Amino acid sequence: MEKNIEISILCEIYGNLLTDKQYKLLDDYYNKDYSLSEIADNMEITRQAVRDNLKKGENKLFELEEKLGIMKRTRKQEQKIGKILSKLSKIQTKYSDKQIASILENIKHELNDLV
């Protein structure tokens, strides 16, 4: 996964565990696509301070993911749900029994709600 996307997802998951400043810097840089200069001007700090704080925030996010693994578990869960949905679709097209089709359709809707 691309680093920018990964950091954006981690920020969404663990953003509340960062300082307000770290979260704002990461959000501005990765989600709003602001440059280091734009962030520095907006926050009235140097570009180097922005860079340092971004690195600290990134490290904190990776550390939290390493310890808690929420993003990793979520990805695994989404992959499993995708496989189940695929298998259900195969069963549904293979069998013509209306009851089976109805039950499978209900299961698919419930699984889709989880994704």
Does the pLDDT at position 42 exceed 90? yes
Give the pLDDT score at 101: 75
Q: Summarize pLDDT for 74-98 with one digit per residue, the tens.
A: 998 888 888 888 877 777 666 667 7
Calpha distance 54→40 (Å, rounded): 12
* Residue whose entry in the numeric block shows the structure tokens 């709600």: 113
Query: Mean pLDDT over all residues of the chain?
Result: 89
| Contact between 36 and 25 (Cβ < 8 Å) | no
Structural domain boundaries of the chain?
3-68, 74-114
CB atoms within 10 A of CB 34: 17
Quick one: which H or E segment has residue 6? Answer: helix 3-14
Cα angle at 80 between 79 and 85, to 5 degrees? 100
pTM given for the model? 0.73
CATH number of the domain located at residue range(s) 3-68 in this protein: 1.10.10.10
